[in-house]
Amino acid sequence: MAKITFTTHEGAVHQAEIVAGKSLMQIATDHAIPGIDGDCGGECACGTCHVILDAKDFSKMGSPKADEEQMLSMTPERQTTSRLACQIKVSTEMDGMNVHLPEFQM
Ligand code: FES
């Protein structure tokens, strides 16, 4: 079973099963992962699904589109490998990926 690991700012680790074709935000909220709100339902309009990827994973995802980049630019805890989880479609190739959560969402 392919899984993604979410690590909170406090170091708590949660695992979620990958369902190919869903967004990373949907996977997180389906599994009640704390720290991802997804308030806009995945419309790239709230920024409450901010995640921080490992550099090796970030480089595989492709660049954020303009609307995601705009939301990220307003994210106080943005890091160089930040993404919005609603804009990442998951696949079983992401098995074992570790996703870090910021201390706060916007
Ligand atoms: S869920 Fe709102 S920007 Fe991702």
For a mutational test of ligand 1's pocket, the pick from 75, 86, 99, 105, i.e. the residue with the most ligand atoms closer than 8 A to its C-beta, is: 86
In the predicted structure, residue 98 carries a pLDDT above the cut 90: yes
Query: What's the total number of domains in the chain?
Result: 1
Within-domain flag for 43: yes
Round to whole Å and give the CA distance between 6 and 51: 9
Within-domain flag for 86: yes
Within-domain flag for 50: yes
Segments forming the whole domain that contains residue 22 = 3-100
In the predicted structure, residue 106 carries a pLDDT above the cut 90: no
CA of 88 to the centre of ligand 1 (A): 11
Q: pLDDT, tens digit, for every residue of 25-45?
A: 999 999 999 999 999 999 999
In the predicted structure, residue 84 carries a pLDDT above the cut 90: yes
Q: What is the pTM of this model?
A: 0.96
Q: Record the tokens describing residue 78, joined without a space.
A: 């943005």
Within-domain flag for 105: no
Round to whole Å and give the CA distance between 39 and 19: 21
Within-domain flag for 106: no
> Domain with 45 in it: what CATH number?
3.10.20.30
Within-domain flag for 37: yes
In the predicted structure, residue 62 carries a pLDDT above the cut 90: no
